[in-house]
Amino acid sequence: MKYLVTEKQLRILSEQKKLGNFELPNFSKLSDFTKFIAQNRSKFINAMGGNVTDATKKFNTMESLFVMLQNGEISAGELINGIPVENYITRQGGLRDDFVKFSNQPKTTNFASDVRSTNKGFKTLSEISDDDKFQLLSKLGYRDPQDVIDTDVKWRPFGKDPDTMSGWKFHIYGEDLYDSVDLFERLEPLSNRWGFHAKVGVLVDFKPSSVQWGKGGVTIYIPPQVIKDNRTNDLLSDIESALGGYKKGGKISGDKQITPSIHYRYELSEPINTSVGIDYSKYRVLYNSNSGGPYKPDNVPDLFEVKPNQDIPTSKVRLISGQRWGSESLDQSSIDWSKVTNAKNIQDYNKIISDAIRTDNYSYVSRGGFEKFGITDFRDFLQNQIQPTGKQFNIEGKWSVIPK
């Protein structure tokens, strides 16, 4: 029997597993698919087209949902704000169909790679096979992995060689070489945009009992120009977006935690003008090695302390009760968390609400949960009945919003 297929139908069939010009393989295992997503982050974002920032957000959402699916936190058909979870994933390349397919697969026992992704284990260098080690080192841009192993390379620098140093740096939590490659692929593209110098752990092998535990990931040195331009929070926001779906996190000795994955510290022994910085020769003299003590000297102001009414861009908001949101603490016990679908604590919900205000996209904000405050539709209240001032900040540098 002959089947007549039109040219248009053939073209549609040939593009079913394509995202733009990016060819998508077929996978039978969800763990292989999530690994493929993480390894091809930049290709996915470029193939989505349009504004890079918007494409990055869409990718981060998609990646997070697939990782949550892998960890058993969600499944197809579950509702987020009344919408099936798979509807938040693009149909392009059959990605939505993949989500449904993987959701309907029987759950199997976690393999080593799956356990790692859920923070339950890590691989020492001796536990990584030679084949994996060669592949991972190649992903870090080394043409001769054996030479890297023979010379025991500890760090792989990337980004702009700094003319001056501010003394402040971010540590992005990582435990082993798998984390290093994951973080490098996520954060290396940001170095061109922000002009920062950074390094990623290569053959570092910190143990859980070591004061260096967690520092095997990426170190980002914050440029003085970023501080001078009052854009430290913008840089942090970009890093948070790039880490969407990254699950590793924990305590880093000698650092102050922003999120479990992101920490920061001041590494000089005395104050300097951080918006101007110092050259490397002076930096070496003032360098204060981290032995697990305070994250900064007492006489150095915290980089993220913001004076009231200082006009600095930020994307954080604090939920507040009363007439003026941003001025007094919210009675958390009055929130009905059973009706809040995307967050189970104030910290998580602050991030969702701040992103909604910043992007004018309120679809991830739950409608219920605030009935005890006399608010029957919280999303509508946030979107239409309050207004961010944009220029009024409390000491923590967070949004202050007032009723319209």
pLDDT per position as a tens digit, 140-199: 888 888 888 888 888 999 998 889 999 999 999 998 888 898 899 899 989 988 999 999
Mean pLDDT of 358-371: 79
The top-scoring range by mean pLDDT among 7-21, 83-97, 99-113, 151-165 is 151-165
Lowest mean pLDDT among 290-299, 307-316, 334-343: 307-316
Lowest mean pLDDT among 41-45, 225-229, 303-307: 303-307
Burial track 234-247 (b if 16+ CB lie within 10 A, e otherwise): bbbbbbbbbbbbbb
Mean pLDDT of 203-223: 84
Give all domains of the chain, ordered by start, each with its CATH number.
7-108 (no CATH), 125-286 (3.30.2430), 332-403 (no CATH)
Q: What is the CA radius of gyration of the chain?
A: 23
Lowest mean pLDDT among 57-61, 214-218, 274-278: 57-61
pLDDT per position as a tens digit, 373-392: 667 778 877 777 655 543 33
Q: Is it the case that residue 61 has pLDDT exceeding 70?
A: yes
Q: Is it the case that residue 125 has pLDDT exceeding 60?
A: yes
SS (H, E, C) 136-155: HHHHCCCCCHHHHHHCCCCE
Mean pLDDT of 106-120: 39
Question: In 125-272, where does DSSP find H-type helix?
Answer: 130-139, 145-150, 177-194, 224-228, 232-242
Mean pLDDT of 98-107: 80
DSSP state of 309: T
pLDDT for the residue numbered 92: 81
Distance CA 312, CA 392 (A): 9
Banded pLDDT at 8 (limits 50, 70, 90): low
Helix, strand and coil percent figures for the chain, each rounded to 5: 40, 15, 45
Q: Token match 């040939």: residue?
A: 14
Q: Which residues contact 402 (CB under 8 A, 6 or more apart)?
A: 324, 325, 386, 387, 389
Lowest mean pLDDT among 14-18, 59-63, 383-387, 391-395: 391-395
Banded pLDDT at 331 (limits 50, 70, 90): low
Distance CA 279, CA 281 (A): 6
CA 38 to chain CA centroid, nearest Å: 12
pLDDT for the residue numbered 255: 92
Banded pLDDT at 47 (limits 50, 70, 90): confident
pLDDT per position as a tens digit, 23-35: 888 888 887 888 8
Average pLDDT, the chain: 76
DSSP state of 376: S
Helix (H, G, I), strand (E, B) or coil at 131: helix
Mean pLDDT of 394-399: 37
Residue type present at position 59 = F
Q: Is it the case that residue 138 has pLDDT exceeding 90?
A: no
Mean pLDDT of 84-101: 85
Q: Is it the case that residue 139 has pLDDT exceeding 80?
A: yes
pLDDT for the residue numbered 306: 46
Shortest CA distance to 149 belongs to which of 168, 161, 132, 166?
Answer: 132
The pTM for the full model equals 0.50
Token pair listed for 159? 């980004």
More confident residue, 332 or 363: 363
Q: Is it the case that residue 3 has pLDDT exceeding 60?
A: no
Distance CA 224, CA 167 (A): 9
What are the backbone angles phi and psi of residue 16, rounded to the nearest 5°?
-60, -35
> Exposed/middle/buried for 193, CB within 10 Å: 0-12, 13-18, 19+?
exposed
More confident residue, 385 or 268: 268
Mean pLDDT of 41-69: 83
Q: Is it the case that residue 271 has pLDDT exceeding 80?
A: yes
More confident residue, 360 or 324: 360
